[in-house]
């Protein structure tokens, strides 16, 4: 059913601007805490019940002075650089050393790295949507453009393992050249703990530099040029919160509507856009007739802190909420597609960024999701298995629900600027906001007619086994020779 007319894109953009006005909404930061209060205030305004902020201890990390200076032969010159999240601070005066280059494709690194700053190239694998489409359970792509998408998967950093090797082999610093970043930016907030064992375990001072400085920096590193790294700031205990509100249903079973509320930078797309969709859905279900299942509205903390919010919520509510959840729905990133122009700058293609919709291995769910994508005009969308070539669970903040045995429908787009400071208001695809909200509203209504067991049923048993095999093959390939990508 077409529900998009029930949602106001202008109002949703207004919410996005209000959230972004707080600044970088990182876990435990003043901006992050202000955004939490804003979201709780909206849910209270919409009339949700059992509103609560569930606290999670974190370490607040706020860099101050940040500088990379290299002796190019005529004295030290600053290079444009971005600090790596949660890496080690330097003394106030900085640290001086020599550069050494590490080839990310080499199996051995005979050079002495002791006391030096390691420079290497960080690459991104190609996100080949045409290949991914071969594993799809369906698609809505009326103009036939989604399979033309070919851009780097900028959330996967090939060569990042050399940061750990640099520490193990005695280096004092690390500089990664983002050689594949479209647009050439170095302003990337990553890695952010999504698949790291411990986001706080960053024992070296580290920076990103852009591809434009790559040739000069490689040459300087190979010559052993002097470098001065300065990174000062504040690290202290803080707290962040999962935000929860409830809308009563006809039964005690639950539907979870979810997005994470933190962000790397001002980040209107990542993820004020997803939060705006969940806000719109919260008001829609709170103001209409009682849904069949209770609706739990969940804004999780710390996606950029190892997805700590989602994992904590599942752990804390393993005995009460989780067993009653019939379906978890996550919405992330309502975005325009970016491509490089002839000058190597990011430009709008005029199309929506392709959307992956991860869903259960059964026909009723495929039919419900596909019908609502079509009815609400959510084009350039693939229906994807919850495990397979992209990993053991969806690469979303909701993916841990699948690992916990809960069926899910997760919407996510991954434009190339997503983790960068270049994420700005013009990249939000305003016209798509009500379409996504409408599709989710329709999915909630459609699944209300499907039993909890029916949503979880595995109709495509052989297909699921095939996806498990592919998942293991991909894992074996990416872990060989220590080149496992970190997300």
Whether 61-136+151-231 and 4-60+238-471 are alike in CATH topology: the answer is: no
Q: What is the pLDDT of residues 21-58, one digit of tens each?
A: 999 999 999 999 999 999 999 999 999 999 999 999 99
Q: What is the pLDDT of residues 141-184, one digit of tens each?
A: 999 999 888 889 998 899 999 999 999 999 999 999 999 999 99
Mean pLDDT of 230-243: 97
Mean pLDDT of 385-394: 88
**pLDDT value at 487 more than 50:** no
CA 278 – CA 264 distance, rounded (Å): 19
Which of 104-108, 122-126, 439-443 bottoms out in mean pLDDT, i.e. has the lowest?
Answer: 104-108
- What pLDDT is stored for residue 480 in this prediction? 36
Strands 336-340 and 346-352: antiparallel
Distances in whole angstroms, Cα of residue 332 to Cα of each of 39, 91, 288, 355 = 16, 38, 24, 10
Mean pLDDT of 12-20: 98
**pLDDT value at 290 more than 90:** no
Residue 109's pLDDT band (cuts 50, 70, 90): confident
CA 210 – CA 119 distance, rounded (Å): 12
- CB neighbour list of residue 250: distance below 8 Å, 6 or more residues apart: 290, 291, 292, 293
Q: Where are the domains of the chain?
A: 4-60+238-471, 61-136+151-231
- CB neighbour list of residue 74: distance below 8 Å, 6 or more residues apart: none
Mean pLDDT of 255-263: 98
Mean pLDDT of 65-75: 95
Q: What is the pLDDT of residues 310-367, one digit of tens each?
A: 999 999 999 999 999 999 999 999 999 999 999 999 999 999 999 999 999 999 999 9
**pLDDT value at 478 more than 60:** no
Distance of CA 370 to the CA centre of its chain: 24
**pLDDT value at 200 more than 70:** yes
CATH T-level fold of 61-136+151-231: Glucose Oxidase; domain 1 (3.50.30)
Is there a cis peptide before residue 368, judged by omega within 30 degrees of 0? no
**pLDDT value at 476 more than 70:** no
CA 453 – CA 14 distance, rounded (Å): 39
Quote the tokens at residue 224: 């052993």
- What pLDDT is stored for residue 110 in this prediction? 72
Query: What percentage of the chain exceeds 70 in pLDDT?
Result: 97
Q: What is the pLDDT of residues 414-455, one digit of tens each?
A: 999 999 999 999 999 999 999 999 999 999 999 999 999 999
| b (16+ CB within 10 A) / e for 273-308 | bbbbbbbbbbbbbbeeeebbbbbbbbbbbbbbbbbb
- What pLDDT is stored for residue 475 in this prediction? 67
Mean pLDDT of 88-109: 92
Task: Say which residue the tokens 């962000």 belong to.
Answer: 263
Quote the tokens at residue 366: 């495929």
- CB neighbour list of residue 476: distance below 8 Å, 6 or more residues apart: none
**pLDDT value at 483 more than 50:** no
| b (16+ CB within 10 A) / e for 197-221 | eebbebbbbbbbbbbebbeebbebb
Residue 396's pLDDT band (cuts 50, 70, 90): very high
Half-sphere exposure of 246 (CA within 13 A, CB side): 16
Residue 477's pLDDT band (cuts 50, 70, 90): low
**pLDDT value at 130 more than 90:** no
Residue 173: phi and psi, rounded to 5, are -160, 170
Residue 7's pLDDT band (cuts 50, 70, 90): very high
CATH T-level fold of 4-60+238-471: Aminopeptidase (3.40.630)
Q: What is the mean pLDDT of the chain?
A: 93
Q: Considering only CA atoms, which of 168, 444, 219 is closest in space to residue 325?
A: 444
Query: What percentage of the chain exceeds 90 in pLDDT?
Result: 84
Long-range contacts formed by 371-375: CB under 8 A, 24+ apart? 371/442, 371/446, 372/1, 372/3, 372/438, 372/439, 372/440, 372/442, 372/443, 372/446, 373/140, 373/439, 374/140, 375/1, 375/2, 375/3, 375/438, 375/439, 375/442
- What pLDDT is stored for residue 485 in this prediction? 43
């Amino acid at each position: 059913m077409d529900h998009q007319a029930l949602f106001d894109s202008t109002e949703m953009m207004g919410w996005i601007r209000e959230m972004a006005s707080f600044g970088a909404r990182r876990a435990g930061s003043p901006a992050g805490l202000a955004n939490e209060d804003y979201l709780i205030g909206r849910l209270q305004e919409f009339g949700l019940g059992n509103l609560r902020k569930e606290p999670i201890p974190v370490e607040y990390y706020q860099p101050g002075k940040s500088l990379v200076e290299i002796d190019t032969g005529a004295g030290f010159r600053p290079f444009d650089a971005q600090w790596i999240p949660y890496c080690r601070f330097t003394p106030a005066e900085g640290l001086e050393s020599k550069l050494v280059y590490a080839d990310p494709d080499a199996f051995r690194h005979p050079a002495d790295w002791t006391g030096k700053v390691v420079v290497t190239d960080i690459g991104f694998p190609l996100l080949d949507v045409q290949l991914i489409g071969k594993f799809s359970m369906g698609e809505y792509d009326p103009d036939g453009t989604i399979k033309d998408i070919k851009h780097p998967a900028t959330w996967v950093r090939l060569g990042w393992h050399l940061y750990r090797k640099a520490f193990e082999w005695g280096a004092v610093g690390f500089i990664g050249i983002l050689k594949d970043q479209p647009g050439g930016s170095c302003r990337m907030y990553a890695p952010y703990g999504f698949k790291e064992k411990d986001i706080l375990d960053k024992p070296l001072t580290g920076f990103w530099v852009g591809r434009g400085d790559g040739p000069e920096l490689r040459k300087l590193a190979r010559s052993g040029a002097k470098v001065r790294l300065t990174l000062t700031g504040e690290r202290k205990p803080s707290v962040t919160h999962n935000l929860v509100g409830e809308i009563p249903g006809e039964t005690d079973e639950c539907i979870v509507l979810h997005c994470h509320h933190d962000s790397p930078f001002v980040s209107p797309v990542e993820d004020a856009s997803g939060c705006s969709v969940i806000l719109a859905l919260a008001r829609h279900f709170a103001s209409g007739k009682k849904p069949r299942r209770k609706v739990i509205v969940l804004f999780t903390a710390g996606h950029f802190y190892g997805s700590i919010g989602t994992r904590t919520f599942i752990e804390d509510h393993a005995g009460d909420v989780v067993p009653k959840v019939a379906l978890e729905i996550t919405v992330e990133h309502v975005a325009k597609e970016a491509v490089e122009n002839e000058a190597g700058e990011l430009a709008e293609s005029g199309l929506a960024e392709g959307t992956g919709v991860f869903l259960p291995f059964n026909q009723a769910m495929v039919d419900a999701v596909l019908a609502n994508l079509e009815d609400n005009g959510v084009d350039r969308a693939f229906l994807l298995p919850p495990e397979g070539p992209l990993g053991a669970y969806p690469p979303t903040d909701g993916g841990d629900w699948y690992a916990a045995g809960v069926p899910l429908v997760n919407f996510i787009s991954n434009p190339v600027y997503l983790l960068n400071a270049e994420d700005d208001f013009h990249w939000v695809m305003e016209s798509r906001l009500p379409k996504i909200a409408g599709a989710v509203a329709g999915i909630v209504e459609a699944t209300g007619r499907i039993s909890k067991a029916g949503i979880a049923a595995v109709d495509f048993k052989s297909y699921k086994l095939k996806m498990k095999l592919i998942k293991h093959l991909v894992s074996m390939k990416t872990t060989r020779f220590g080149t496992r990508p970190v997300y």
